[in-house]
Amino acid sequence: MNEEPPNPTTPRPVSVESRNGAREEEASSISRRLGIPMRGGKKIEPGEIRLVLLEDRIEVWDSTSRRKGARVDFSGIDVRTGSGNLSRQQPLARAISGRSDRRLGTPLSVIDATAGFGHDAFMLACMGHDVIAVEREPLVHLLLEDSHTRAVADPELGPALGGRLRVVHGESTTKLLDLDPVDVIYLDPMFDLSKRSSALPKKRAQLLRALVSEGSGDRELFHIALSRARKRVVVKRASGDPPLMPTPDLQVPGKIARYDIYLPGSSI
Ligand SMILES: C[S@@+](CC[C@H](N)C(=O)[O-])C[C@H]1O[C@@H](n2cnc3c(N)ncnc32)[C@H](O)[C@@H]1O
């Protein structure tokens, strides 16, 4: 994924293709479900994005891809208990659990209401929390579901996940009202597509920019989240960006991202 979209606020045309004989039917079902054309064997035009179904994964290709495209999966995450990604001292873990909790490791129920490719949701589930990840963009949800399915079947990732992650397709402003209240609601809203700043690593941010139309309603989502969270709402922001809402009750700073914490019942 090296191409930049001509206009970063316009999603790019997307097509789907199977490069594995056994997945033709699945590709055509994705084409129908997402309303995107099948373009088996056809050249990828500049600006176009293609979902390519390979034997064991879905890759995202553009016209610069040669033998491989971008992969969305959890394979880069170190799932050893207590190590780097899953350390209870890392900012995400501390922001979700809260300093007031006696044990940072207390399992909580969490809804990640802006799941994206699900890296944060995946890490939270591996840390022992019960996580529901909600994503509204059909294409992003498809890739998330695919990575989740593969992680569950993986001999290392599956046991680390322990069945604690559920992936849901939908708009969180309504899903949060349908689902039972939980301890923590986590928000990592879509960054401003016209700016380059993002709390996500560069490659994932680039891919999301290409697949997701500019979001709106983050403040409405925040207010609904605050009414459905028993313990806290955690909002991830790029370090240096202003808070989504004034004024967080607590903040956990990190190198790339900062976590703003809002407690239900506070004066927002
Ligand atoms: C910055 S990304 C999240 C990245 C994610 N934290 C990760 O670790 O991969 C934001 C995602 O939230 C989704 N989103 C934004 N608002 C939403 C809403 N109201 N309901 C559901 N999904 C939403 C966007 O489609 C986008 O995929």
Ligand 1 centroid to Cα of residue 172, in Å, is: 9
Edge-first strand listing for the sheet containing 14-18 = 14-18, 49-53, 58-61, 70-71
* Amino acid residing at 78: D
pLDDT of residue 206: 77
pLDDT of residue 35: 94
Same domain, 49 and 96: no
Ligand 1 centroid to Cα of residue 116, in Å, is: 4
pLDDT of residue 134: 98
* CATH value at residue 187: 3.40.50.150
Instruction: Name the residue range of residue 39's domain.
Output: 14-71
Nearest ligand 1 atom to alpha carbon 204: 9
pLDDT of residue 158: 96
pTM for the full model? 0.90
Nearest ligand 1 atom to alpha carbon 208: 27
Residues contacting residue 223 through CB under 8 Å, at least 6 positions apart: none
- As for ligand 1, residues whose beta carbon falls within 6 Å of it are 113-114, 116-120, 134-137, 140, 171-173, 188-191, 200, 208, 212, 215, 217, 221
pLDDT of residue 88: 78
pLDDT of residue 200: 58
Q: By alpha-carbon position, which residue is closest to atom 11 of ligand 1? A: 116
Residues contacting residue 128 through CB under 8 Å, at least 6 positions apart: 105, 107, 162, 164
pLDDT of residue 191: 63
Same domain, 116 and 203: yes
Nearest ligand 1 atom to alpha carbon 217: 19
Using DSSP's 3-state secondary structure scheme, residue 257 falls into: strand
pLDDT of residue 192: 58
Residues contacting residue 151 through CB under 8 Å, at least 6 positions apart: 73, 74, 122, 157, 158, 161
Same domain, 66 and 111: no
Q: By alpha-carbon position, which residue is closest to atom 26 of ligand 1? A: 116
Same domain, 91 and 50: no
Same domain, 221 and 96: yes
pLDDT of residue 3: 59
Nearest ligand 1 atom to alpha carbon 114: 12
Number of domains in the chain: 2
pLDDT of residue 212: 82
pLDDT of residue 23: 95
- Side-chain-side CA neighbours of 160 within 13 Å: the count stands at 24
In order along the chain (268 residues), what is the average pLDDT of each group of 10 residues? 53 90 95 93 90 93 87 85 77 85 74 96 96 96 95 95 97 97 94 56 74 80 97 94 94 93 84
